[in-house]
A and B are shown apart, each in its own frame.
Chain A
Amino acid sequence: MSTQLYLLHQSLDVSAAKFPDKLAFKSGKHAVSYSEMHKKSGQLARLLIELGVKKGDRVGIYTNRSLESVIGVYGILRAGAIFVPLDPTAPDKRTLFLIQDCGIQYLISQSAQRKKLARLLQHTPPLRYILGLMADWEVPCIDWQDIWAMPELSHPIRMVEKDLAYIMYTSGSTGQPKGIMHSHFSGLRYARMSADLYEVHEEDLIGTHAPLHFDISTFGYFTAPLVGATSVIIPDAYIILPASLSQLIEKEALSIWYSVPLALIRLLTRGVLDQRDLSSLRWVLFGGEPFPVKHLKALMELWPHARFSNVYGPAEINQCTYYHLPAPPSEEESIPLGTLCANTEMRILDEHDQPVRPDETGELLVRTSTMMTAYWNQPHLTQQGFYIEEPHPGYQETFYRTGDLVRINEKGDLMFLGRKDRQVKLKSYRVELDEIEAVLVAHEAVEEAAIVAIRKEDSLHIEGAVIMKVGDKVNEASLLNHMSQYVPSYAVPEQIHILQTLPYTTSGKINYPVLAEQVSMTQEST
């Protein structure tokens, strides 16, 4: 076949022909070579088609971090269908909403989800088949063993690159989850771009920390097979126990790591890194939210052999900027979003959609080939999320509004100044909650911190929440004192709560709405 790939799963065809015996994916004790991966995904695709799945149908993947998740992805794509990751740790209500919202009739799962599936089925979702386990339910189930007895897909399904490949739902901590639709084109363009940017090659062993329903998983699921690298899907147990995770990185000799900062912070604080040899790491990529500078600095000093890169881009556009850190940052600086990726352009606009002056702050808008098609079944939200320019009559260019506030610094790097919706007015001053949060997290006794705005009747004020480092006994007064040294008086939080943990979304980001609720409840009870 031609080397010009235009569908995501064609990377498997190529890698299976080129490196048949090389390991494509590994997870825990299980591993599949490229030829096995090709065969298994072909068997799953064949079965899906025989069960009635048509091109463009949405098929759910309800698994933990495992090989079943990857086989699901490629089996669904090869059947011409669209995969929809479903988080098994999410509340049933959310899963049922997603199944309804995009009309999922077929589910790929695994026996580890038996109890959860049984519970889900009590709400009688309109499912026709569940694949991946044996069970005696009303909805017929087909075990993996029976799938491995299937013949393979006999011929490729005819598709074009703009056909949809997957729908990823936003973590939806507020309001309704939005289904972000990506095509084979946008997914493959991201895989190509990231492979070039980080010079990913066939010898690489990639640590894939993110679960499938979190967009940064696309690096481990799509980029790795494009170049014939091995993607190591980190099983859930290692995520919970950082000392085991560091053992795994050492044992597998991972060369590229990609996760949210939180996972790296946990490795740093609880991963007994002084007892591990992690010199195989050549790239440490992080994204999803800002990395507190002091932790990043500590980690970079510990791993001088690795290059660190800040990956930035909302799930709607995959990745649009990168910043390779030249050296461990000093505690005073914040980490830039950096430079635009290839094949990408931007606008920085004020609240009236007018371009800001070069040194001014505005919202970042991006136009790129890795951009989503639209939000599933939400034409109004799609319209709000896009910004259209019409340079010539009848010819339009579409930008995505990131909702992130940025400024270009003197070196020409994009700096992240906070979310548009994390900007509040306090006593008529404009305050970036993320900036206040960065000051709080910089306190030496603080491990993690969050700032939330609380609306009470007509007035708005801010409060903080922190997790202290183990053994540190700093009280609220000294934290408040620290804050008043670095931020203007109107931006000093009214209270700072010392907590055992912060609420997180399932992708490891701080869940601000839940935190705000928790914090205001504490107040009412006192």
Chain B
Amino acid sequence: MEEALRNYVQENLLNTPAGTQLELDDDLLGGGMIDSLGMMNLIAHIEEVYALTVPPEDMTIEHFQSIEVICTYIQERKVAS
């Protein structure tokens, strides 16, 4: 899952030019890598691919800071539903 998500973000959402290597623990939010729109697209992508809903109260930094924590969150959501 981590690889698939990393590739998706790397290819579709990054604000940095092609060739920048994204690490699993890179801060997506603080380093200007993703903007508000990118984040909305990422959440829509997660909802579609992993067949879950992300409620607004879960759209927080602790769940979306890096690929790593996003994957942990997806797993928790899947177990919970």
By a beta-carbon cutoff of 8 Å, the part of chain A in contact with chain B is 64, 88-89, 112-113, 115-116, 119, 235-244, 247, 266, 270-272, 275, 500-501
Tell me whether B61 and A237 are in contact (CB under 8 A).
yes
A271 surroundings in chain B (CB, below 8 A): 56
Is there an interface contact between B29 and A112, defined as CB atoms closer than 8 Å? no
Please, how many residues of chain B have a CB less than 8 angstroms from a CB on the other chain? 25
Hey, which chain A residues are within 8 Å of B27, CB to CB? 112, 237
**Scoring B residues 18 to 41 as 1 if CB is less than 8 Å from chain A, else 0, what string do you get?**
001000000101111011110111
- CB atoms of A241 and B61 under 8 A apart: yes
Q: Once bound together, how far apart are the Cα atoms of A58 and B78, in whole Å?
A: 53
With A88-B32, A89-B32, A236-B32 already in contact, the answer to whether A244 and B61 are too (CB < 8 A) is yes
| A272 with B56, Cβ < 8 A, contacts A241-B61, A501-B40 known | yes
Interfacial chain A residues near B36, Cβ < 8 Å:
239-240, 266
- The residue that B29 contacts in the complex, of A237, A242, A247, A501, with Cβ under 8 A, is A237
Q: Which of B17, B20, B35, B57 contacts A240 (CB under 8 A)?
A: B35
A271 CB, nearest partner CB in chain B, Å: 8
B16 CB within 8 Å of chain A: yes
Residues in B with CB closer than 8 Å to A275 are: 57
The smallest C-beta distance from B69 to any residue of chain A, in angstroms, reads 12
B37: chain A residues at CB < 8 Å are 500-501
Contact pick for B30, options A119, A236, A270, CB 8 Å: A236
A38 CB to closest chain B CB (Å) equals: 27
Known interface pairs A89-B15, A115-B16; A243-B30 also in contact (CB < 8 Å):
no
B59 beta carbon closer than 8 Å to chain A: yes
Say how far B62's CB is from chain A's closest CB, in angstroms: 8
User: Which residues of the other chain, A, contact B20 by a CB distance below 8 angstroms?
Assistant: 115
Beta-carbon contact of B29 and A243 below 8 Å: no
Measured CA separation A115–B17 after assembly (Å): 10
Q: How far is the CA of A116 from the CA of B14 in the complex (A)?
A: 13
Subset of 30 A-B contacts with CB under 8 Å = A64-B30, A88-B32, A89-B15, A112-B30, A115-B16, A116-B16, A119-B17, A236-B30, A237-B27, A237-B29, A237-B61, A237-B65, A238-B61, A240-B29, A240-B35, A240-B36, A241-B59, A241-B61, A242-B59, A243-B56, A243-B57, A243-B60, A244-B59, A244-B60, A244-B62, A271-B56, A272-B57, A500-B41, A501-B37, A501-B40
Q: Is the CB of B32 within 8 A of A64?
A: yes
Interface centre among B15, B20, B36 (most CB of A within 10 A): B36
> In the complex, how many angstroms separate the beta carbon of B41 from the nearest chain A beta carbon?
8
Query: Which B residue sits closest to A87, measured CB to CB?
Result: B32
Task: Chain B residues near A237: list those with CB within 8 A.
Answer: 27, 29-30, 61, 65
> How far, in whole Å, are A522 and B58 apart by their CA atoms in the complex?
35
Assess the A241–B16 pair: CB atoms within 8 A: no
Structural contact, B30 and A241, CB atoms closer than 8 A: no
Given contacts A241-B64, A247-B60, is CB(A112)–CB(B40) below 8 Å? no
Q: Which residues of A sit under 8 angstroms from B39, Cβ to Cβ?
A: 240-241
Question: Pick the contact of A236 from B16, B29, B40, B57 — CB < 8 Å?
Answer: B29
Q: How far is the CB of B81 from chain A (nearest CB, A)?
A: 19
User: In whole Å, how far is A31's beta carbon from the nearest beta carbon of chain B?
Assistant: 17
| A235 x B60 contact (CB < 8 A) | no
Residues of B within 8 A of A115 (CB): 16, 20, 31
Chain B residue at smallest Cβ distance from A248: B61
B16 contacts across to A, CB distance below 8 A: 115-116
A41 to B19 Cα, complex, angstroms: 37
Are B57 and A112 in contact, with the CB atoms below 8 A? no
Cα-based distance from A438 to B26 in the complex (angstroms) = 40
A296 to B36, CA, bound (A): 21
CA distance A64 to B17 in the complex (A): 18
Chain B residues, CB < 8 A from A241: 29, 39, 59-61, 64
B7 CB, nearest partner CB in chain A, Å:
19
Residues on the B chain within 8 Å of A89, using CB: 15, 32, 35
Beyond A64-B30, A243-B60, 10 additional contacts (C-beta under 8 Å) are: A88-B32, A89-B32, A119-B17, A235-B30, A237-B65, A239-B36, A243-B58, A244-B59, A244-B62, A266-B36
Please provide the chain B residues from 37 to 61 with a CB less than 8 Å away from any CB of chain A in the complex: 37, 39-41, 56-61
